[in-house]
A and B are shown apart, each in its own frame.
Chain A
């Protein structure tokens, strides 16, 4: 267990880090970044696992089960969607290489 003030410091530092990292980003990456950060808060599944793992009564189990399901869907779905978006950057880079290569051929 971490004590109150240590957590407060973690909170503050993580917040600054989040601002810093996003502050210089090309517009093209806004959507993938939203999706990527959406994936990262899928870490909530871990907390839901802890909750379900400690659940005794039926009510707790139902709540925990819903929590794990929703959290895992957030993580897995977020990953798949982000990966598909970023896959596009591969083809973009490759096609750029292609067009560069073509340009060089023409020049030659």
Chain B
């Protein structure tokens, strides 16, 4: 009877997960989607307490409670701009959990090795044969890689690790580490041994670090999405080990959805997944040298240009989000609208740190949906635009991606602001962007540079506009 209730609960939870994620694919129903999935999770966790012979209930409740309090507090506290790294962190923890289940199964098999026939491995208290042992090891491998890799991704986005660590022969080295991990996994399945198990986890952990360190910050969203899919797969494999249908379905489902999402993201940045993982962003030839000089402008002249323009297109980037200037910017836009200026926002698919990230940040500031234009819609409008105001964006408006076949970002779709009559670029300093590439836009004749923190600059522009 209890068994039936549990199976039923997992069944309902699986339906709620799938239906919930389905609802999240449309802006209208998205918010109810996460609630559905959340109810599914509560049902599944609640039902698990019914498991016959469940021991250590106090330990379980303590772990659940501590994790819930910590994660809830962190998740509520973090600013919207830091969401991507929080996703990375939580995803890594999920991978770590899957790895822990694998470790448990292996240790358990080790301790009951005598009771089980040779070549078999135990999960729970049953001896499970052949394939299940493999699944436990593969799940643990993927989960551990996802765990350490996600932590590195978190560190990179958080700014704790700001360098790309590359050395010659890195790919061969990583391939050898992968082989070593798999070989140790093979040995662990064949002959469970405490030291082998530890070595297996250590090597897998190191592999996640080595894999992620050489990848540049600009590619991190794709990598996080990939590790998200990894964790899903690891959960599915460990679900097979435990015979838990909810884990199999939810894990596989997320693994597949995450893989496709990763491809979509890579496509939006015009980078193949292979390139992200193995082709460290090195230019094939010498990128065309940038000629000319940056021409600065002060906020008064900029305000005049904006105030007397007919059409203004604003291109917000991560710099805007970091400076928390989206609210001030919306104030500026409303002032311009009152003066009869036609203002639009142009959003690059990967503006911010992730696809859709900038839309979320602007929505938070109260910018209406209909002012925000996608890249395909806004690009033909730039020639008719009087002023393109680029705030804290760099690589997504770099004309080299369109014109210079030797540029490392060649082929990435860009917002063609250089075709506007005038361009004002708000930028903190003269340095290069996230991808570390020089931007010819800044040196063009119709471009003026307005140096300063986005928040300060926008505040000054508002002041100057008031006095016009």
Name A's B-contacting residues (CB within 8 A): 1-2, 4, 7, 10-11, 14-19, 21-57, 59-61, 63-93, 95-96, 98-99
Sampled A-B contacts (8; CB under 8 Å): A30-B356, A46-B244, A46-B246, A51-B105, A81-B87, A85-B83, A88-B363, A95-B366
Contact call B368/A85, Cβ cutoff below 8 A: no
Report B124 CB to chain A, min CB distance, Å: 6
The yes or no answer to B448 lying at the interface (CB within 8 A) is no
Q: Which residues of A contact B160 (CB under 8 A)?
A: none
Complex interface bits, B197-225 against A, C-beta within 8 A gives 1, otherwise 0? 00000000000000000000000010011
Q: Which residues of B contact A65 (CB under 8 A)?
A: 59, 62-63
Chain B interface extent, by class:
35 or more
Contact call B240/A7, Cβ cutoff below 8 A: yes
The yes or no answer to B30 lying at the interface (CB within 8 A) is yes
Taking CB atoms and an 8 Å cut-off, the chain B residues in 237-264 that contact chain A are: 238-240, 242-261, 264
Q: Of B177-185, B227-235, B453-461, which binds chain A?
A: B227-235
Report B347 CB to chain A, min CB distance, Å: 9
Contact call B235/A43, Cβ cutoff below 8 A: yes
In terms of DSSP, what is the predominant structure of the interface of chain A?
helix
Report B65 CB to chain A, min CB distance, Å: 8
Name B's A-contacting residues (CB within 8 A): 13, 17-18, 20-22, 24-28, 30-31, 33-35, 37-38, 41, 44-45, 48-49, 51, 53-57, 59-60, 62-64, 66-68, 70-72, 74-76, 78, 80, 83-84, 86-87, 89-91, 93-94, 96-98, 100-101, 103-105, 107-108, 111, 124-125, 131, 221, 224-225, 228, 231-232, 234-236, 238-240, 242-261, 264-265, 268, 349, 354-357, 359-360, 363-364, 366-370, 374
Q: Which residue of B lies closest to A25 (CB)?
A: B25
Report B48 CB to chain A, min CB distance, Å: 5
In terms of DSSP, what is the predominant structure of the interface of chain B?
helix
Given contacts A27-B374, A43-B247, A70-B100, contact A53 B33 (CB under 8 A): no
Contact call B257/A95, Cβ cutoff below 8 A: no
Contact call B251/A43, Cβ cutoff below 8 A: yes
Q: How far is the CA of A17 from the CA of B37 in the complex (A)?
A: 16
Contact call A11/B252, Cβ cutoff below 8 A: yes
Pick the contact of A16 from B83, B221, B256, B360 — CB < 8 Å? B256
6 smallest CB-CB distances across A and B, nearest first, come from A18-B256, A80-B75, A67-B100, A71-B97, A74-B94, A77-B71
Report B182 CB to chain A, min CB distance, Å: 21
